[in-house]
Amino acid sequence: MPASVKCVAVVLTWLRSRKTAEAVREPEREGEIDRREAEDFIRLYHAENPSAGPVGPRLREVLAEVSQRGTYTHTPEELEFGARVAWRNSNKCIGRLYWRSLRVRDHRHVDTADGVAEECVEHLRVATNGGRIRPTITVFAPDTPGERAPRIWNDQLIRYAGYVGSDGSVTGDPANTEITEWARRMGWRGEGTRFDLLPLLIETKDILSMREVPSDAVLEVPLRHPRLPWFAELGLKWHAVPAISNMSLEIGGVTYPCAPFNGWYMGTEIGARNLADADRYDQLPVVAERLGLDTSHDRTLWRDQALVELNLAVLHSFEEDGVTMTDHHTEARRFMIHLDKEERNGRVCPADWSWIVPPLSGAATPVFHRYYDDVSLTPAFVRRTRD
């Protein structure tokens, strides 16, 4: 093991032991599940899948396993259903209409850094699908009583590095300066560009390992504008697959802390946030200058004009390259269809208004003009803190 990895492993062990000593411990062992959560999920699975047969025998089997081991093992069918319902319950996701189409890759037997890295790369290849993006989740080993499963420190499988200069300025993505620093401590050296692909940092058994993401597994789209030839000179691009990797999949009390998943991008995620936010790539002043807009005061609405052109370039580029992407008007209409379907099926459709309403032209979309039931349902994807 390289010395840099050994050093990080020691740090992780010390931090965790200190946190454990200071925390108020629950009476159960770490990873031990709540029998009620297991029962609720098994009943839900059988209620929505009549072909699975009567719930009684399976419920007795699960509860007996929980009593013996402190946890239980989902069948492949239960895992697939649980992952899809977790997407259905995701209150911050506008794109849930196709929750049934989620492709579930069952790799619960994988618990090593090499294995996780290999399957994450394969996940990207499968999900990219030549540009026709497939909603996909890869589920690795779960936490069990007394044993932590693997974790990925990166918030997405594909992220661009953020290098902090001596003057405090950042080259690349300011959102990723911390993970970039961790990678550099472990010996990684990027090229220093605005769009360097970060390696994956994978924690297994208190050892933090680093694995490169091969560039041929990452589809990127160079951005250009349908009417402004100079836009390509800005050198902007973005990757095709938004694969979230820092959320745990929780199904019936069982936690899968390493379960990267993806849908496809809505244009505003890139054009109105990643590239536009002042604390990200901050491209609105650049675009406004090239457009010749008056930026001397806010009332000229120069930001609004620049934002529209930036988002138009994102949508145009992905469409021209044959990469799946949706626009915020279309996706808002699709969400209302999903909402109607869920209500007709007698289910609550949880939604966080601040996330469902797009960051561009919100009032021009139907999702703006109502409120939603923002409740927490399970199964669920849960934001994982680094512990």
What is the tens place of the pLDDT at every residue in 254-264?
Answer: 999 999 999 99
Mean pLDDT score of the chain:
93
Name the residues annotated as catalytic: 93, 96, 264, 269
Q: How far apart are the first and last CA of the chain?
A: 23
- Mean pLDDT of all residues in 61-77: 97
CA distance 143 to 131: 34
Contacts of 325 (CB under 8 A, 6+ apart): 264, 265, 266, 267, 314, 315, 318, 319
| 385 band by pLDDT with thresholds 50, 70 and 90 | confident
CB burial of residue 306 (10 Å; 0-12, 13-18, 19+): buried
Nearest residue to 122 via CA among 5, 254, 211, 250: 211
One-letter amino acid for residue 379 of the chain: P
Residue 384: per-residue pLDDT: 82
Residue 53 DSSP code: -
What distance separates the 2 farthest-apart alpha carbons in the chain? 71
- Mean pLDDT of all residues in 156-165: 98
| 7 band by pLDDT with thresholds 50, 70 and 90 | very low
CA distance 148 to 205: 7
Residue 3: per-residue pLDDT: 39
Structure token pair of residue 155: 């918030």
- On the question of a cis peptide bond just before residue 379, with omega within 30 degrees of 0, the verdict is yes
CA distance 378 to 387: 22
Structure token pair of residue 306: 């620049």
- Residue 221 host element (H or E): strand 220-222
Please say whether the beta carbons of 201 and 208 come within 8 A: yes
Residue 21: per-residue pLDDT: 39
